[in-house]
Amino acid sequence: MIKKFPLFGALTLSLTVFISPSVLATDLTVEENDTIVKEDIAAAQVMTEVCPAVIGQNAKLDSTIQQLIQSYLAEYSDKGMSYTKLQADSEYKSLLEEARQGAKQTAKDEQKTVCEEVLDYQG
């Protein structure tokens, strides 16, 4: 099951959604599922950019985010897809930019809360 972390995206941050597993939608197309995976990975990547400035460098945070990225990639239709390959994907680049813009519009206290929640995440 994919765990959703709609962080810093166009959607409003919600810790309830942040820490709750998503409901698997059986009506999703492969393309829709892949887009959701890309959105999740983009949000995680933005966290690696934002959280160190908000809560400082933290090895546990880095490790947790990398685990999340790997778990998201496991849900991608192309099992050969990697985090490195995604960086060249045009849709991913667009989603990443959206996530970055969302992070800029998120209050620092909300960013801090989300970063701290990731530190407490037990997977």
Q: Can you tell me the mean pLDDT for 19-33?
A: 65
Six token digits for residue 118:
């990731």
pLDDT digits (tens, 9 = 90+) for 62-98: 999 999 999 999 999 999 999 999 999 999 999 999 9
What number of CA atoms fall less than 13 Å from residue 19's CA on the CB side?
A: 12
CB 115 within 8 A of CB 54: yes
Dihedral (CA of 99, 105, 107, 108) sign: positive
Residue 3 bridge partners (DSSP): 21
Look at residue 118 in the predicted model and tell me its pLDDT: 87
6 or 112, which is more confident: 112
In degrees rounded to 5, what are phi and psi of residue 19? -100, 0
